[in-house]
Amino acid sequence: MNTLFNILPLLAPVLLVDIALAVAAVRHILQHPCYRFGNRAMWLVIVVVLLLFGPIVYFVFGKGENE
């Protein structure tokens, strides 16, 4: 338990950035109709389920180029 309190200051910024990326990815998915691979439902599941890496995967592979 003491170890958790020691690393909490290091984890807090990572969690905040991760949540911000997830919110940005979900907003983008809901607002734009075209994707490089897959469809809207697939990308929403990837972003929400794989919270740590899902938004990064979406912005690298899923976001369409004409936006």
66 has a pLDDT exceeding 80: no
Could you state, in order of their start, the residue ranges of all structural domains in the chain?
A: 2-62
pTM value? 0.79
Q: What is the pLDDT of residue 61?
A: 86
- Convert the pLDDT of each residue in 20-62 to its tens digit: 999 999 999 999 888 888 889 999 999 999 988 999 998 888 8
- Residue 46: is it exposed, middle or buried by C-beta count within 10 angstroms (0-12/13-18/19+)? buried
Q: What is the pLDDT of residue 64?
A: 73
Q: What is the pLDDT of residue 32?
A: 86
DSSP string, the chain: -HHHHHHHHHHHHHHHHHHHHHHHHHHHHHH---BSSS-HHHHHHHHHHTTTTHHHHIIIIIB-S--
Residues 3-14: what's their mean pLDDT?
A: 86
